[in-house]
Amino acid sequence: MNLFASLFPLIIWLIYSYTGNFLDKLRPSLSNLMNLQRRRWVANAVHRDNPIDAILSSSLMSSVSFFASTTVLLILALFAVFGQIETLHNALSNIRPDLTSANISYHLIVLLGVFIMAFLSFTLSLRQFNHFCILLGAADHAELSNENEVNAIASLNTLGARNFNQGIRAYYFSVAMLIWFISPLASIGTTIFIVLFLLYRDYFSRARDLISTLTSK
């Protein structure tokens, strides 16, 4: 049970991340609808010379950079915890007498793996948004941009957003992994709650419904 509960949030996170395309065929998600707005943004941006596009691009990269930096700090903190396994075991023994130092060690390894993958997602997102900014700046506003150029720039923005969302979901599921230190069953229950929350946010939220009214026009 300890091993299953430790790996369960990681497995569900990966499954949720890679089943989005299938779910989008049944009902477009918030991210899917926003991708249409991203293309609309690029289609308008290549026809104007306005600093607002540079400001928006900078804001996107700042958000991703913040999470990438924060994730590095969390990874370093987890490495530091490995040197205090016995202290952590003694602190948790009153909550979970069944825990052993080995249990804690392998769970920390899984948690470390989640944050490493989150860091890779954020850095990949940052690189893709960087490419997006370069291509957007390279567009010649004096000429009509062709369809391929607009699609390529918008697709880079979409890829950056997709990897950013992947990293953000890691933070959601890491909450369930932290609750494992209290109870494996509570960790599994929290994972299921997070999945339901993400499904609501992505497919049934008020924000999603409002944006769908824009894309239907």
Strand locations in 15-82 (E): none
- Identify the top-confidence range among 81-85, 89-93, 102-106, 194-198: 194-198
Residues 211 and 30 sit within 8 Å (Cβ to Cβ): yes
**Taken in order 148, 153, 155, 156, is the CA torsion positive or negative?**
positive
Q: Of 204, 200, 47, 215, which is closest to residue 136 (Cα–Cα)?
A: 47
- Is 144 a residue whose pLDDT tops 80? no
- Residue 185: give the domain boundaries: 2-215
> What is the band of 166 on the pLDDT scale with cuts at 50, 70, 90?
very high
Per the structure block, which two tokens stand in for 137?
Answer: 């700046």
Q: In residues, how long is the chain?
A: 217
Contact 119, 71 (CB under 8 A): yes
| Domains contained in the chain, number | 1
Q: Which residues contact 208 (CB under 8 A, 6 or more apart)?
A: 29, 30, 33, 201, 202
pTM exceeds 0.95: no
